[in-house]
Structure 1
């Protein structure tokens, strides 16, 4: 399914911005990272029944799998979105 090696897989909640006004929250997802640090795949609506078949589909046998806690989430792209109060006047510039 993939021409690159999947080296890291995250299992948990993803938050994805579809537009400036629409947010998608995926509670049970797999996010695969290839050997170059790029997002190789995102699989939504993971269940106990389909998890292994999805991992096999993406050939993740040698990958490290990180399971996020219920209090953790990822924003694909790994963009650091935090800000500090003194930065507010510069927001959007």
Structure 2
């Protein structure tokens, strides 16, 4: 599930990436959690202004749900844009 958010003239693209838990044998169990992959670009040209970020939850643990990964990615994108504007 990929989401694109607009914020102060920028586009924040957040995509949860599942972390698969290995099990014995050839099959995979369900996702153990999610990372948030965040890309920030200009809204008009779509030119990336930062390298993609891969975020984890607290203590480098994966986010429990896709929704948590999406919201954390959006918040991180907002902070990066605000910090870049204030620099």
The TM-score by the shorter chain falls in which range? 0.3 to 0.5
Comparing both structures, which one devotes a greater share of its residues to helix?
2
TM-score (normalised: structure 1): 0.32
TM-score (normalised: structure 2): 0.34
Structure of greater relative contact order (alpha carbons < 8 Å, 6+ residues apart): 1
